[in-house]
Structure 1
Amino acid sequence: MSNVRQMLQKGPLHARIIERFDEMSEQLQQAARHILEHPQEVALVSMRELARNAGVQPSTMTRLAKFLDFSGYEDFRAQHADVIRVSADGFAARALQRTEAATNGEGLAFRMLQGLSAQIDRLCAPDTIEHLNKMAEQLSNARRIYVLGLRSCHSVAWHFHYVMTLLGEKTVHLDGPAGTSGDPLIRATSDDVLLAISNKLPTSLQTLELAEAAREKGMPILAITDSEVSPLVTIAEHVVLFPTESQTFFTPDAGA
Structure 2
Amino acid sequence: MPQFQSNPSGRLPDSTIVARRIAEKYADMTGAVRRFADLVKAEPLKVARMSIHEAVVGADVSVATANRFAHLIGFSGYAEFRAELIRGFEKLFEPVDAMKRHRAEAGSAFEVLEASLREDIANIEATLRSLDPETTERAVEMIARAEKVFVLGFENAAQLAGMLACGLEMTGVPTRSPENGGGMVGVARQLFKFGPNDLLIPIAFSLYMRDTIIMTRYARRAGIPILAITDFLDSPLVPLADRTLFVTAFHSMHPPSDTAILALIEALIAAVARQRPGAPEVAEKFASFAYPWMRSTGPDWSPEE
Identical aligned residues as a percent: 22
- Do structure 1's residue 123 and structure 2's residue 139 form an aligned pair? no
User: What is the aligned partner in structure 2 of residue 152 from structure 1?
Assistant: 156
Which of 215, 218, 225 matches 1:213? 218
Shift, 1:141, TM fit:
1.4
Q: 1:124, CA displacement in angstroms? A: 1.5
Aligned mates of 1:125, 1:225 — CA distance in 2: 16
Deviations 1:77-119 (A, max 9, x none): xxxxxxxxxxxxxxxxxxxxxxxx7622111111100000000
CA contact under 8 A between 2:154 and 2:178: conserved in structure 1?
no
Instruction: Indicate whether 1:142 and 2:173 are aligned.
Output: no
Which residue does 2:168 correspond to in 1? Answer: 164
How many pairs are equivalent? 169
1:174 aligns with 2:186: no
User: Cα offset for 1:185?
Assistant: 1.1
Distance 1:125 1:250, change over 3 A: closer
Structure 1 letter corresponding to 2:148 = R
* 1:130 to 1:104, Cα distance in 2 relative to 1, 3 A: farther
For residue 167 of structure 1, report the CA deviation from its aligned partner.
3.0
Tell me, yes or no, if structure 1 residue 187 matches structure 2 residue 218.
Answer: no
Q: Post-superposition shift, 1:166?
A: 2.2
Q: CA separation in 2, counterparts of 1:171 and 1:104? A: 43
CA distance in 1, matches of 2:258, 2:200: 19
Q: Write the distance in 2 (CA, Å) between the matches of 1:251 and 1:127.
A: 18
Q: How does 1:198-237 map to 2 (within 5 A)?
A: 198-201=204-207, 203-237=208-242
Preserved CA contact (<8 Å) 2:131 2:246: no
Residues 24 and 153 of structure 1, relative CA distance in 2, 3 Å threshold? closer
TM-score of the superposed pair, with normalisation by structure 2:
0.49
Alignment-derived partner of residue 56 in structure 1: 87
Alignment partners' CA distance in 1, 2:16 and 2:209 = 20
Q: Name the counterpart of 1:9.
A: none
| C-alpha separation in 2, matches of 1:24 and 1:248 | 24
Structure 1 unmatched runs, 5+:
1-21, 29-51, 61-100
Per-residue CA deviation, residues 16-73 of structure 1 (Å, 9 max, x unaligned), is xxxxxx9973689xxxxxxxxxxxxxxxxxxxxxxx9xx629xx9xxxxxxxxxxxxx
CA distance in 1, matches of 2:253, 2:19: 24
TM-score (norm. length: structure 1): 0.58
CA distance in 2, matches of 1:251, 1:167: 28
Alpha-carbon RMSD across the aligned residues, in angstroms, is 3.0
SS at the partner of 2:260? coil
Offset, 1:126: 5.3
Matched residue, 2:17: 25
8 Å CA contact 2:146, 2:173 repeated in 1: no
- Look at both structures and tell me which one has the larger radius of gyration over its CA atoms: 2
Conserved 8 A contact 2:131-2:245? no
The answer as to 2:251 corresponding to 1:246 is yes
Q: Alignment partner of 1:191: what SS?
A: coil
